[in-house]
Protein backbone atom coordinates (compact mmCIF):
# COMPACT_ATOMS: atom_id res chain seq x y z
CA UNK A 1 0.00 0.00 0.00
CA UNK A 2 2.86 2.38 0.95
CA UNK A 3 0.55 5.22 2.01
CA UNK A 4 1.91 7.26 4.88
CA UNK A 5 -0.37 8.26 7.73
CA UNK A 6 0.54 10.89 10.32
CA UNK A 7 -1.12 9.69 13.53
CA UNK A 8 -1.56 12.41 16.14
CA UNK A 9 -1.95 11.04 19.66
CA UNK A 10 -0.57 7.59 18.92
CA UNK A 11 0.24 6.76 22.54
CA UNK A 12 -3.31 6.84 23.88
CA UNK A 13 -5.60 3.83 24.07
CA UNK A 14 -7.48 4.70 20.89
CA UNK A 15 -4.35 5.99 19.14
CA UNK A 16 -2.45 2.78 19.86
CA UNK A 17 -5.35 0.67 18.60
CA UNK A 18 -5.43 2.72 15.40
CA UNK A 19 -1.67 2.33 14.93
CA UNK A 20 -1.86 -1.47 15.28
CA UNK A 21 -4.80 -1.69 12.88
CA UNK A 22 -3.13 0.45 10.22
CA UNK A 23 0.17 -1.42 10.47
CA UNK A 24 -1.70 -4.68 9.90
CA UNK A 25 -3.41 -3.09 6.89
CA UNK A 26 -0.12 -2.16 5.24
CA UNK A 27 0.14 1.56 5.99
CA UNK A 28 3.35 3.36 6.89
CA UNK A 29 3.09 5.49 10.00
CA UNK A 30 4.54 8.65 11.44
CA UNK A 31 3.66 8.71 15.13
CA UNK A 32 3.10 11.71 17.36
CA UNK A 33 2.81 11.51 21.13
CA UNK A 34 2.87 13.89 24.07
CA UNK A 35 4.24 12.13 27.16
CA UNK A 36 3.61 8.37 27.08
CA UNK A 37 6.83 7.24 25.42
CA UNK A 38 6.45 3.71 26.81
CA UNK A 39 3.38 3.17 24.63
CA UNK A 40 5.31 4.32 21.55
CA UNK A 41 8.20 2.00 22.37
CA UNK A 42 5.74 -0.87 22.68
CA UNK A 43 4.34 -0.11 19.21
CA UNK A 44 7.84 0.03 17.73
CA UNK A 45 8.88 -3.25 19.34
CA UNK A 46 5.77 -4.96 17.95
CA UNK A 47 6.26 -3.52 14.47
CA UNK A 48 7.56 -6.52 12.55
CA UNK A 49 6.87 -4.84 9.21
CA UNK A 50 9.04 -1.76 9.77
CA UNK A 51 5.95 0.30 9.11
CA UNK A 52 6.79 3.04 11.61
CA UNK A 53 8.91 5.58 9.75
CA UNK A 54 9.44 8.00 12.62
CA UNK A 55 8.02 9.24 15.90
CA UNK A 56 7.94 12.73 17.37
CA UNK A 57 7.15 14.16 20.78
CA UNK A 58 5.25 17.43 21.03
CA UNK A 59 2.85 19.05 23.47
CA UNK A 60 -0.15 20.16 21.39
CA UNK A 61 -0.95 22.76 24.04
CA UNK A 62 2.31 24.54 23.17
CA UNK A 63 2.11 26.25 19.79
CA UNK A 64 5.90 26.58 19.48
CA UNK A 65 6.30 22.83 19.98
CA UNK A 66 3.64 22.15 17.37
CA UNK A 67 5.41 24.36 14.84
CA UNK A 68 8.73 22.64 15.55
CA UNK A 69 7.11 19.22 15.21
CA UNK A 70 5.50 19.83 11.83
CA UNK A 71 8.70 21.33 10.47
CA UNK A 72 10.63 18.27 11.65
CA UNK A 73 8.48 15.74 9.78
CA UNK A 74 10.69 14.65 6.91
CA UNK A 75 8.28 12.43 4.97
CA UNK A 76 5.41 13.21 2.61
CA UNK A 77 2.11 12.75 4.43
CA UNK A 78 -0.78 11.13 2.57
CA UNK A 79 -3.29 11.19 5.42
CA UNK A 80 -3.64 12.60 8.93
CA UNK A 81 -5.54 11.03 11.82
CA UNK A 82 -6.18 13.09 14.95
CA UNK A 83 -6.67 10.70 17.87
CA UNK A 84 -5.10 12.69 20.68
CA UNK A 85 -6.35 15.13 23.27
CA UNK A 86 -7.63 15.26 26.81
CA UNK A 87 -10.71 16.38 28.70
CA UNK A 88 -11.44 18.58 31.68
CA UNK A 89 -13.99 17.27 34.17
CA UNK A 90 -15.53 19.81 36.51
CA UNK A 91 -17.88 22.76 36.72
CA UNK A 92 -17.44 25.39 34.01
CA UNK A 93 -17.46 28.17 36.63
CA UNK A 94 -14.45 26.58 38.32
CA UNK A 95 -12.27 26.47 35.21
CA UNK A 96 -9.23 28.69 34.96
CA UNK A 97 -8.62 30.70 31.80
CA UNK A 98 -5.42 28.75 31.20
CA UNK A 99 -7.36 25.47 31.26
CA UNK A 100 -9.77 26.84 28.65
CA UNK A 101 -6.87 28.00 26.48
CA UNK A 102 -5.21 24.60 26.84
CA UNK A 103 -8.25 22.69 25.54
CA UNK A 104 -8.77 25.17 22.71
CA UNK A 105 -5.15 24.89 21.59
CA UNK A 106 -4.99 21.08 21.81
CA UNK A 107 -8.28 20.29 20.09
CA UNK A 108 -8.79 23.20 17.71
CA UNK A 109 -5.85 25.45 16.89
CA UNK A 110 -3.08 22.82 16.83
CA UNK A 111 -5.07 20.59 14.46
CA UNK A 112 -5.66 23.68 12.30
CA UNK A 113 -1.91 24.34 12.19
CA UNK A 114 -1.07 20.73 11.37
CA UNK A 115 -3.65 20.47 8.58
CA UNK A 116 -2.64 23.90 7.25
CA UNK A 117 0.97 22.71 6.92
CA UNK A 118 0.34 19.36 5.22
CA UNK A 119 -2.76 20.13 3.15
CA UNK A 120 -0.95 21.85 0.24
CA UNK A 121 1.05 18.66 -0.43
CA UNK A 122 -2.13 16.61 -0.47
CA UNK A 123 -3.71 19.04 -2.90
CA UNK A 124 -0.69 18.85 -5.22
CA UNK A 125 -0.85 15.04 -5.18
CA UNK A 126 -4.67 15.07 -5.56
CA UNK A 127 -5.22 12.55 -2.79
CA UNK A 128 -5.45 12.29 0.95
CA UNK A 129 -7.58 11.78 4.04
CA UNK A 130 -7.99 13.93 7.13
CA UNK A 131 -9.74 12.15 9.99
CA UNK A 132 -10.69 13.20 13.49
CA UNK A 133 -11.68 11.21 16.55
CA UNK A 134 -14.18 13.61 18.11
CA UNK A 135 -16.73 12.79 20.82
CA UNK A 136 -20.41 12.24 21.43
CA UNK A 137 -20.29 15.38 23.57
CA UNK A 138 -19.45 17.42 20.49
CA UNK A 139 -23.02 16.72 19.35
CA UNK A 140 -25.02 16.73 22.58
CA UNK A 141 -22.89 18.51 25.17
CA UNK A 142 -22.15 17.29 28.67
CA UNK A 143 -22.43 18.96 32.02
CA UNK A 144 -19.06 19.12 33.80
CA UNK A 145 -17.41 18.91 30.37
CA UNK A 146 -18.65 22.16 28.85
CA UNK A 147 -15.43 23.35 27.23
CA UNK A 148 -14.47 19.86 26.09
CA UNK A 149 -17.90 19.56 24.46
CA UNK A 150 -17.34 22.94 22.81
CA UNK A 151 -13.98 22.09 21.26
CA UNK A 152 -15.21 18.71 20.06
CA UNK A 153 -18.15 20.47 18.44
CA UNK A 154 -15.65 22.79 16.75
CA UNK A 155 -13.80 19.75 15.37
CA UNK A 156 -17.04 18.42 13.90
CA UNK A 157 -17.78 21.69 12.09
CA UNK A 158 -14.19 21.95 10.88
CA UNK A 159 -14.57 18.49 9.32
CA UNK A 160 -17.80 19.42 7.55
CA UNK A 161 -16.53 22.77 6.29
CA UNK A 162 -13.10 21.62 5.10
CA UNK A 163 -14.66 18.58 3.40
CA UNK A 164 -16.60 20.93 1.10
CA UNK A 165 -13.49 22.96 0.31
CA UNK A 166 -11.17 20.11 -0.66
CA UNK A 167 -13.51 17.51 -2.17
CA UNK A 168 -12.61 18.49 -5.75
CA UNK A 169 -8.95 17.86 -4.89
CA UNK A 170 -9.81 14.22 -4.08
CA UNK A 171 -9.18 14.77 -0.38
CA UNK A 172 -11.69 13.34 2.05
CA UNK A 173 -12.35 14.81 5.48
CA UNK A 174 -14.39 12.80 7.98
CA UNK A 175 -14.60 11.93 11.66
CA UNK A 176 -15.68 9.24 14.06
CA UNK A 177 -17.55 10.24 17.19
CA UNK A 178 -17.11 7.71 19.99
CA UNK A 179 -19.48 7.39 22.90
CA UNK A 180 -18.41 5.62 26.08
CA UNK A 181 -15.18 3.78 25.22
CA UNK A 182 -13.13 1.79 27.72
CA UNK A 183 -10.09 4.08 27.87
CA UNK A 184 -8.07 5.88 30.52
CA UNK A 185 -9.98 9.08 29.73
CA UNK A 186 -13.01 7.59 31.49
CA UNK A 187 -11.14 6.27 34.51
CA UNK A 188 -12.07 9.36 36.53
CA UNK A 189 -15.54 7.84 36.84
CA UNK A 190 -16.36 5.67 39.84
CA UNK A 191 -17.59 2.13 39.24
CA UNK A 192 -21.10 3.30 40.10
CA UNK A 193 -20.92 6.22 37.65
CA UNK A 194 -19.54 4.03 34.86
CA UNK A 195 -22.24 1.40 35.42
CA UNK A 196 -24.94 4.08 35.38
CA UNK A 197 -23.59 5.35 32.06
CA UNK A 198 -23.51 1.84 30.59
CA UNK A 199 -27.10 1.29 31.70
CA UNK A 200 -28.08 4.11 29.31
CA UNK A 201 -26.39 2.39 26.33
CA UNK A 202 -28.68 0.06 24.34
CA UNK A 203 -25.74 -2.26 23.63
CA UNK A 204 -25.24 -2.42 27.43
CA UNK A 205 -21.45 -2.24 27.34
CA UNK A 206 -18.58 0.15 26.83
CA UNK A 207 -17.00 0.32 23.40
CA UNK A 208 -13.49 -0.93 22.72
CA UNK A 209 -10.65 1.13 21.25
CA UNK A 210 -10.33 -1.47 18.50
CA UNK A 211 -13.89 -0.69 17.37
CA UNK A 212 -12.94 2.94 16.87
CA UNK A 213 -9.80 1.84 15.01
CA UNK A 214 -11.89 -0.31 12.68
CA UNK A 215 -13.96 2.70 11.65
CA UNK A 216 -10.86 4.82 11.07
CA UNK A 217 -9.39 2.07 8.89
CA UNK A 218 -12.59 1.93 6.86
CA UNK A 219 -12.63 5.69 6.31
CA UNK A 220 -9.01 5.64 5.13
CA UNK A 221 -9.71 2.95 2.55
CA UNK A 222 -11.22 3.06 -0.91
CA UNK A 223 -14.38 1.29 0.24
CA UNK A 224 -15.44 4.64 1.75
CA UNK A 225 -14.47 6.74 -1.28
CA UNK A 226 -17.86 8.52 -1.51
CA UNK A 227 -18.08 9.40 2.19
CA UNK A 228 -17.24 13.07 2.67
CA UNK A 229 -17.81 15.45 5.56
CA UNK A 230 -19.45 12.81 7.75
CA UNK A 231 -19.30 12.19 11.49
CA UNK A 232 -19.75 8.46 12.11
CA UNK A 233 -21.15 7.65 15.54
CA UNK A 234 -19.65 4.74 17.47
CA UNK A 235 -21.72 4.63 20.60
CA UNK A 236 -23.66 1.38 20.92
CA UNK A 237 -26.93 3.18 20.16
CA UNK A 238 -26.60 5.78 22.92
Catalytic residues: 148
- Side-chain-side CA neighbours of 198 within 13 Å: the count stands at 14
CB 184 within 8 A of CB 12: yes
d(CA 203, CA 137) in angstroms, rounded, equals 18
In eight-state DSSP terms, residue 36 is: -
CB 127 within 8 A of CB 78: yes
> 146, 10, 188, 138: which is closest to 84 by C-alpha?
10
CB 181 within 8 A of CB 209: yes
- Residue 229's φ and ψ, nearest 5 degrees, are 70, 25
Amino acid sequence: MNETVLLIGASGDIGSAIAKKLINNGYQLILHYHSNQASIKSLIEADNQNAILAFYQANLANEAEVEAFIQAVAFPVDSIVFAGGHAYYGLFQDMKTEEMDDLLQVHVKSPWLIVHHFLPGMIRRKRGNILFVTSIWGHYGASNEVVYSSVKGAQNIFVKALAKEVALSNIRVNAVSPGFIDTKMNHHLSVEEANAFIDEIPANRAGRPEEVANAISYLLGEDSSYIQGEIIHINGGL
